[in-house]
Amino acid sequence: MKMKLDSFELRTKNEFDMINITERVHKFVEESGIEEGMVYVMTAHTTTSIIVNESLPCLETDIEEKLEEMVPKDAQYAHNHFLPSYGATGGNCPGHLKSMLCNYFAYFPVKEGKVVRGRAQEIYFAEFDGIQDRTVYMQVVGE
């Protein structure tokens, strides 16, 4: 069994941002030399997610609006207080909760050196906590 691990950095542009990373995942798998197995995609941050969905601007808007309805920015959160460990006030509880709802990883089968996914499935990195530098990890395991 072989394993390959890689990561890449990206900079988000908005408080809520969905960045399509499908082609990066495909390229990583194709270059890995692994023909049969699984690929795992994970965000390294607690206020971000990996989302698998159709790539339509209207759907991206719907996702953003529905998450905001479920987890509004202006609600009363216990996390909105001074955090001595950070030396600052935590105000990003909505980002943590949205990340929890959407998950921090996705995985796909690899067959004949290609990622297996549904016809309309795209892989997104989702940001819920503003303009930041972020890291995504990808690991392919197999033969």
Candidates 103, 113, 104, 102; CA nearest to 140 is: 113
Task: State residue 92's pLDDT score.
Answer: 87
Residues 53, 108: contact at Cβ < 8 Å? no
Q: Hey, which residues does 115 pair with through a beta bridge?
A: 110
In this predicted model, what pLDDT tens digit does every residue of 64-75 receive, in sequence order?
999 999 999 888
Structure tokens at 100: 């929890």
Q: What local confidence, expressed as pLDDT, does residue 34 receive?
A: 98
pLDDT, tens digit, for every residue of 83-132? 666 666 567 889 999 999 999 999 999 999 999 999 999 999 999 999 99
DSSP letters for 14-65: SSSEEEE-HHHHHHHHHHHT--SEEEEEEES-TTEEEEEE---HHHHHHHHH
CB half-sphere exposure, 57, CA atoms < 13 A = 0
The span from the CA of 80 to the CA of 43, in Å, is 24
Cα separation, 99 vs 44, in Å, equals 11
